[in-house]
Structures are given as C-alpha cells and as structure tokens.
C-alpha cells in the first residue's frame, strides 16, 4: 500500500468534498481510514483513498457519485469488508463509500412476505427481525453474523442453505440505486410477479459495485421452517466424502444443507473456541433435512454409509449438531489466525465433486501448499483454504500457483471460477478463462452503458 497522498490536488478535492457533504460523513485521517482500504482477500492489491465517505441517506450517496463524476474520481462501494475477492479494495486516490451508517430495516410486510432494508443491515439482524414475524430470509453466507445485505447482493452471496433454497439473487425483488450518471433510480418490483422490461434488478445483483451503488433493497421472505434434522458422517478422505455427496444427488435428495469440513478446520476452531469437538476422522459431512418426515434424513445417512463412511448417524443431540455447524461457520476466521489464508470458491457439477476434491489434493501436493477444505458440498461449491506462514514469500508464490491450478481444474470439469464470492481482483484472470471473448465484450458494453464515466469500482471484475 502506498503512503497517503499530500499533493495539493488531493487537498483541493477533499475541500471540495466537504463543501457538498457534512464534515462528519467524511474520513481522511490515514489511521482511521486504514481499516476501510481492503476486504479479506489475501494478497489482493489496494490503494490509499483520498477519503472514506459514510452516507446516512441515499441522497448523500448520490452526492458522492455526482462528485466522483464531476472530478473523475473512482468510487468503491463497501459493506462490512468481509469479501474474499478484493472487490471492495480501495483504489489509489479514489473514494470508498461505506454503508455502515445506513442500517435501518424500514419495513417487514408479513402479508406480502417482503422486507425493505438499507444496504448496511447485517444479514443475521435481518433474519432475527424476520423470525419475530414468523418469516425467514434464506440466504445465509458463513459471514452472516457480520456481512451486510448490500454486500451480499453485490456479490450474489450464497450460504449453507442455498443447496435447497437458492442464492441472494433468488430473493431480491427490487432496489434503489445511484446509477453511473448520478441518478437515483428504482428497479424491480414489490409484487409476486412482474415482467415489465428487462430484469435490470437481476443484472445489478452480483455486479460488485461496477454498475450502480445500492441504497435500498427489497427482498422476498419465506415462512419460518420446521426444525431441521442433522445427519453427520465421518470419512477417511475428502474424495470418499465427495463420493457421498454424489450419491445424495443421485438419490434425488435435496437436503436443506450439505457441508464438508475437514479435520484441519475443526481442529483450528476447537483450539480457538475450545468447543470440545472430538473428531477422529479426516473429514466430516454435515447434512440437514427440514422435511417433516424423518425419511429424507435416513436416506442421506444411508448414502453416507454406502459411499464408505466410517460412521453415519442422524443426530439426536441438538446442541452437538448445532456446535458442528457453528464450527463450519467459524472455520475461515479460525484458520486465518494461523497465518495468511488464500480462499478459493470454485463450483463444479455435483457429480464431479469427488474428482475436484482429488485435484485440489493434487494441487496441494504438487505446490507444497497446506490446503484445508470446507465446502457447500451439496451444490458443488468448494472452498479450499490455502494456508501459508506469515512472511514466507516462497510459500505465497506456491500457494498462488496452486490457486491457479484449482481454477483450471474447475473449468476443466465444467465448473466456474466463483460460486458466490465474486470476481473482484483475484478471479479476473479466471473470468477471462471462463468466458468467451464475445461474452466478455457483452459484459464490457453493459458496463460502459451503465457507467459511462468509468468511476464505479474501476479495475474490478475485468481487471485493469
């Protein structure tokens, strides 16, 4: 990261910004803004912004974008900074637009089963508020206790239950944005159905701040679910566990969750949180069923056993089952305590999960890189975690080579380079490998049409 700029031009821009926004909404102190300069993507580059702006209203966000257009200054929208691809990283001399002061849940409508929220609302806070009305907001990324709805929408986040209930895009009905011309625009609808015009609302989901700045979201809700049954199985290898995932798919079962967690992750969580996780196997598969009948849970258990599980059971201890899923959510921050962690996010067809896990193991061996594994295994979304030691430059180079090999393997197996974390900076080369040149050009033209001045998160998704 470069040192803060003290050029006269920078000071002039800051003074001009203070003339159009309240002073308490603008941060320029280098020590204060340092925490806003990057997300959680290891080794993704970032710059020093001229200012961090924390709007309280959509109109203040609009003022920032109009200022950016007038002065041709890049603007990077940011939620809680929990992203893992560098999509929220600051650009040198630009502005970071942070939504941690826009946290209102404006409406929960039980009759229409929808909620209207500001972008800074934390995912878990929305889910808790909905539960008070007997409703449920399904998207549940592992970062749900910290990540925000705006960031979730910007990356089209998934989560544990997306194997059955879908990802964020499936729940976004409408939005208010500031577009690349500085206009406040409403997209989408509040009705159960609607096909008037192009689906511009859907286009903005997953656009990582490159097509507009989100200032309000309207999301669909579902009725609260029945209690889930948890199925756990232990396996001697990730490949065998992958075979169990394939068997569940072949059986036509759609569990409400099917997660893979290896021993490295469980040990790291236990050492951090002292949860008393006694695990002898190399890999655990954690399934859940929210069907009223116990039959689905039993079939999942049978699939685990048929694939070669050391043991498999439908849990009768609710506390123990919840502890295992909590360990799954805490795996990334637990491993991050041990050293730099480069997180992958590939997704492959469910039937290819065993082969993909084998190739991940091979990449770790070939590049002498320690790789731990967690996965939304039920929908083929794998998150190998490449772990290095602080300050070990050679290990960093090897890890990045393994990272590239894993992307190549996912594409070779008919998959994608990102299932839910987004492209940001880290996956830009993978995106270019995945999409044809005509498809890439379509993306560029859409971006040019919606961001004609090139100020919305430039350099992200397609690279420099």
Domains assigned to the chain = 8-98 (3.30.43.10), 105-223 (3.30.465.10), 227-333 (3.30.70.2190)
Name residues whose C-beta falls within 8 Å of residue 316's C-beta, 6 or more positions apart in sequence. Answer: none
Instruction: State the pLDDT confidence band at 273, using cuts at 50, 70 and 90.
Output: confident
Closest CA to 28 of 20, 38, 19, 36: 36
Q: What is the mean pLDDT of the chain?
A: 94
Query: CA 390, CA 224: separation in Å to the nearest integer?
Result: 44
State percent of the chain over pLDDT 70: 97
Q: Of all helices (H) and strands (E), which one includes residue 40?
A: none
What is the pLDDT at residue 3? Answer: 47
What is the pLDDT at residue 281? Answer: 73
Kindly report, residue by residue over 229-247, the tens digit of the pLDDT.
999 999 999 999 999 999 9
Q: What are the angstrom distances between the C-alpha of 12 and each of 18, 37, 134, 414?
A: 10, 21, 52, 51
Q: Is the pLDDT of residue 260 over 50?
A: yes
Kindly report, residue by residue over 370-385, the tens digit of the pLDDT.
999 999 999 999 999 9
């Amino acid at each position: 990261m470069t040192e803060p700029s003290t050029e006269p031009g920078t000071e002039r821009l800051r003074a001009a910004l203070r003339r159009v926004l309240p002073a308490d909404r603008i941060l320029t102190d280098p020590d204060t803004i340092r925490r806003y300069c990057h997300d959680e993507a290891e080794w993704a580059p970032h710059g020093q912004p001229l200012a961090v702006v924390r709007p309280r209203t959509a109109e203040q966000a609009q003022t920032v974008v109009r200022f950016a257009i007038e002065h041709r200054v890049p603007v990077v929208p940011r939620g809680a900074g929990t992203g893992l691809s560098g999509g929220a990283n600051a650009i040198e001399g630009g502005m970071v637009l942070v939504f941690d002061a826009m946290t209102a849940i404006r409406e929960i409508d039980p009759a229409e089963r929808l909620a209207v929220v500001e972008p800074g609302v934390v995912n878990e806070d929305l889910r808790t508020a909905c539960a008070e009305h007997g409703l449920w907001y399904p998207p549940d990324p592992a970062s749900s206790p910290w990540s925000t709805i705006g960031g979730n929408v910007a990356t089209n986040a998934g989560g544990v239950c997306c194997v059955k209930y879908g990802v964020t895009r499936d729940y976004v009905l409408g939005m208010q944005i500031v577009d690349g011309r500085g206009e406040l625009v409403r997209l989408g609808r509040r009705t159960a159905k609607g096909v008037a015009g192009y689906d511009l609302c859907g286009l903005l989901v997953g656009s990582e701040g490159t097509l507009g700045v989100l200032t309000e979201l309207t999301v669909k809700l579902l009725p609260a679910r029945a209690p889930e049954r948890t199925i756990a199985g232990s396996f001697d290898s990730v490949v065998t566990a992958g075979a169990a995932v394939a068997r569940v798919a072949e059986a036509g079962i759609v569990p409400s969750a099917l997660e893979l967690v290896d021993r490295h992750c469980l040990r790291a969580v236990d050492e951090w949180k002292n949860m008393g996780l006694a695990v002898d196997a190399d890999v655990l598969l954690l399934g859940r069923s929210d069907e009223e009948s116990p039959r689905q849970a039993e079939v999942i258990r049978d699939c685990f056993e048929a694939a070669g599980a050391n043991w498999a059971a439908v849990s009768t201890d609710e506390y123990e089952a919840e502890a295992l899923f909590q360990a799954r959510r805490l795996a990334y921050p637990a491993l991050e305590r041990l050293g730099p962690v480069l997180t992958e996010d590939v997704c492959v067809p469910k039937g290819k999960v065993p082969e993909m896990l084998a190739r991940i193991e091979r990449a770790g061996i070939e590049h002498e890189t320690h790789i731990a594994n967690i996965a939304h295994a039920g929908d083929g979304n794998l998150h190998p975690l490449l772990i290095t030691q602080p300050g070990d430059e050679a290990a960093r180079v090897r890890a990045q080579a393994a990272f590239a090999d894993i992307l190549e393997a996912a594409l070779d197996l008919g998959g994608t380079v990102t299932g839910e974390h987004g492209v940001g900076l880290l996956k830009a080369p993978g995106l270019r490998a995945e999409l044809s040149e005509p498809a890439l050009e379509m993306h560029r033209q859409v971006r040019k049409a919606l961001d004609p001045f090139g100020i919305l998160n430039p350099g992200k998704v397609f690279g420099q």
